Copies of this chain bind each other. A is one copy, B any other.
Amino acid sequence: MKLKIVTSNPGKAAEFREGLNHLGIEVEHCSIAYDEVQTSELEEVVIKGMEALRSKGLSNFIIDDTGLFIDALKDFPGVWSAYVQKTIGNKGILKLMENEENRKAEFRTCIGCDMDGETLTVTGVCKGSITQSEQGTEGFGYDPIFTHDGKRTFAEISLEEKNEVSHRGKGIRLLVEKLESFRSAETERN
């Protein structure tokens, strides 16, 4: 079978390809634009996005949405992470976190998969904290100010290590599990 990864980011498509390859699922990168709704729930963004794509006639596809949720900022920037990054950026986040002792934060990725009209969703979470300053040059977005082990930021570890511990890596592994059980249930039915 074949699944389309709907994203404007080719790197993301490559991550999905790597994760789904051993299931014999062929992954195709596909960059159709669709509207993301304004809501504070990642899963709602994904489910409504899937509805929008289905209404365009698409089936058998994967989309995802990712956010950084900072405890002391009442989950800001959350589902607006991409836009916040483009405006106030990491410097803005560090300013908001000045003199803040509670530095807990987590990255969440929600992945939605359409399988012949059936909806599967999974959410991968990576718990960590916000550093006092930007560190490292790898990765992108909030990586230089997020640490999962309290020592190195996501911009200071290799992509391989990041995939092992990150929200998206976990989300992809959860999706693989769900797809495996979905397909074995389907085989039983047939």
Closest beta carbon of chain B to A73's beta carbon, Å: 5
Is B35 within 8 A of A37, CB to CB?
A: yes
Q: Which of the segments A77-85, A116-124, A171-179 contacts the partner chain?
A: A77-85
**A137 beta carbon closer than 8 Å to chain B:** no
| Residue of B whose beta carbon sits closest to that of A44 | B35
**A98 beta carbon closer than 8 Å to chain B:** yes
**A187 beta carbon closer than 8 Å to chain B:** no
Chain B positions within 8 Å of A98 at CB level: 95
Number of A interface residues in the complex (CB < 8 A):
24
Is B96 within 8 A of A92, CB to CB?
A: yes
| Residue of B whose beta carbon sits closest to that of A82 | B38
- 13 A-B residue contacts at CB 8 Å? A35-B35, A36-B37, A36-B38, A37-B38, A38-B79, A73-B87, A73-B88, A74-B88, A76-B84, A76-B87, A80-B80, A88-B96, A95-B98
